[in-house]
């Protein structure tokens, strides 16, 4: 064990710094592995959807998209604001 103040400071900080670096490296590997796995899963899913003749993920078939658009559309009512309406407060 070092006897000087600086030696003690360095000797006590080295384990903390090393553990911090190990923790950072492990988390980095986990995050990168997850990102790579998700990318590969998406690639495989896209290939399987193409083999099955389905549209790419996130796209709806044309007939279903048209039906959904008609169902979601507000009714077509022509309204015009009054020309000389009362003043708003």
Q: What is the pLDDT of residues 44-67, one digit of tens each?
A: 999 999 999 999 888 765 665 566
Both structure tokens of 11: 């000797």
Taking 80 as the threshold, does the pLDDT of residue 13 lie above it? yes
When the pLDDT of each residue in the chain is averaged and rounded to a whole number, the result is: 82
Q: What is the DSSP letter of 78?
A: -
Could you tell me the pTM of the whole model? 0.53
Taking 80 as the threshold, does the pLDDT of residue 29 lie above it? yes
Question: Residue 57 in contact with residue 46, Cβ under 8 Å?
Answer: yes
């Amino acid at each position: 064990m070092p006897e000087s103040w600086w030696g003690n400071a360095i000797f006590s900080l080295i384990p903390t710094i090393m553990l911090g670096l190990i923790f950072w490296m492990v988390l980095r590997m986990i995050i990168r592995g997850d990102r790579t796995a998700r990318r590969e899963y998406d690639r495989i899913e896209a290939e399987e959807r193409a083999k099955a003749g389905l549209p790419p993920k996130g796209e709806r078939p044309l007939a279903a998209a048209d039906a959904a658009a008609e169902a979601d559309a507000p009714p077509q009512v022509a309204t015009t604001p009054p020309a000389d309406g009362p003043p708003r407060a």
